[in-house]
Structure 1
Amino acid sequence: MDEFFSLLERGDGGALLQYGAAHPELAVTDAHLAAALGRADVLRGLLVRDTEAVRRTAGPQAFTPLLTACASPLHGRSSVHDAALDETVAVLLAAGADPNARESRYGVSALYFVTGHREVPSVARRLLAAGATPNDGESVFHAAEHFHEAALALLLEYHVDLNHVGDWGNTPLYFLLRWFDIAEGSAVRRGFDWLLQHGANPNVRSSAMQETALHVAAWQGQSVDVLRALLAHGADVTLRRADGMSAWRLAARRGFAELAELLEKAGSPVEPLSPDEQLLAACGRGDASAARAAVTAGWFARLSEDDQRLLPWAASRGREDSVRACLAVGWPVDVQDGMGATALHWAAMHGRSGLVAALLDAGAPRHLRDHEHQATPRGWAEFGRDVVPREEGDYVGTLALL
């Protein structure tokens, strides 16, 4: 069964079918495998003999049979598989399965698997009709990320709150702006626009810093077009974060002059930047000469923890000029972001061999492991090559350097 749950997590439908064929005895005696295979006929008999099987958890993520049915990689494989899995979910719900069941690792719900992970409206409707909450802190976030339009419409029909601050401390709108380059991904951009068009309020506060959508868009360097969209939907330029910073100041101190100018024209107050903030801005815009000129004794120790993370952030966003400006002023190359990743981790994952070489020359530690995955930069490079490769990435050169 360890192998079964590994296949489920990998999302390998073909391998799952082969596994079921190789273990016919499990396919008719184990509710989890029967559910993932869409064996509604088998489940009916199992649940008559063992009524508790519908609630029993198994595997490293403590899946119930309903979770395995919703997470099954056979969704979308064929109309036959879709109909079988839809019937399977109906059988499990009728037997008392909890429509709000969550797995134990990340706490994601059954609804997430058929709205955010994949788009399976028929199953999602069954779950919602049975009492699944649309405000599960995951479903609408990832449905917007992938622009699963039918799933979004269904969640809205069941009164999802687009301004709900989920378990991770943020709204769906903030989530997209925090983790994605809106202008770069067409699906994410459509999800962003959909949220605004259907009532997402850009002034709702998220995170421990009590940021609005405009704050995070400003310091993340989202495009002018994205900021214009937020302003058009009522984003308030005068609001400040918990630390007193405005969106204008966040943009200006990251070197995003075009964003700062737009916010100023929209009515944001303008404030002088300190010498350390001028250094941040020079590094942010990739002006190594201006950055060196702004250096004063003890500058790095005076930066906040968030500001000290400018180097790995710039590497994560592929801002090579910014990384090189940071290196020019002697930025510590072992600084880790919230995940424990260094600039070298991010450069390696993107296959940016030139940047990897520059970071190694500056003394970047090649054996430091991140907190989230306990992986070295080489591990991140292999993940980038195998799972999320960039077309322009030089993974051969990157791995040779590492």
Structure 2
Amino acid sequence: MTLQRQVQFWLISLAVFCAFLYVFSSVLLPFVAGMAVAYLLDPVCDRLEKMGMSRIWATVTILFSFVLILVLFFILVLPILGNQLLGFLDRFPELVKQLQALVSEQLGGRLASIAGISLEDLQSNMSNLVGQGASFVGKLAQSIWSGGQALLSILSLFVITPVVAFYLLLDWDKMVGRIDGWLPRDHLEELRALAREMDQAVAGFVRGQLSVCLILGTFYAASLAIAGLNFGLLIGMGAGLVSFIPFVGAALGFILSVGVALVQFWPDWPMIVIIGAIFAVGQFLEGNILQPKLVGDSTGLHPVTLMFALFAFGYLFGFVGMLVAVPAAAMIGVLARFALRQYLASSVYRGTGRKAAATDEQ
């Protein structure tokens, strides 16, 4: 097969795969989630096998423990988070008005003099801006919920996902071996090297970043709750879970927590400073300890590339697209680096030497 035919084959395969995701995105969530669970837990299963446990008993033990932890989380923690979420949404307009009034009272005169407008006009502009922002956030939340409500059903996530994860985890090594047997023999070693690099990139980010998110979420939630911040558990867990997007989780958590702290504690500045310091400590831990130890540079993804992948895949394939965005971006990054290495080693980049030969002849 010529190089042109190979490129056509892989481009057609990619197009078919994208079309499959687009057509069946509304029903793929439990299967994608089951595949993600199996991928995350496969190293644990392999370790238990090395300790003498059979594959089926290792699979049953791991999935039972995983489901048990998940059920305990939903029984013990989720009701508290749900109550705080309902309370936060109910009080959000009031919190916004109180924060707006506080800012206008403390800084309104200075801002108005700097802007050259009256205090009443400044307050009106701030009110319109806050209203538009709240409306945008509400529409965004409604869009996400309406797009994912059918997907996040209890039946699909708590019944289908464990079953899919069980069978995939049980036969994971067999499936990998079978896929390896389908690889073109002429490029077997190159493809295996690319597959190992992709696995390292995806595993390094998914497993490592998941650990970072859980640790940060626990730290933020516990610290804010101990500090006595209203909705602290909700804000902390949310900030930790969104920490897989660089700087976004900490920024959103900081803005929300400081805004709530201003309304709750003003004029008690030490408490407000403590709330801000919690996120400063969290960023220090993430940047200097958690990220280097648990994630490292295995993905090779720039933060801007990561955010673009999340938005692009989410726009094209909905909630399922956001789940596969990071692994897909990591694999595309591996392929792009491989293509760049091939280009730098080719005559297209290095030249054929004809020009230099012609110069010597002259």
User: What TM-score comes out, normalization by structure 1 length?
Assistant: 0.20
Higher helix share: 2
In our comparison, the structure showing a higher alpha carbon Rg is 2
Q: Which has the higher contact order (CA 8 A, sep 6+)?
A: 2
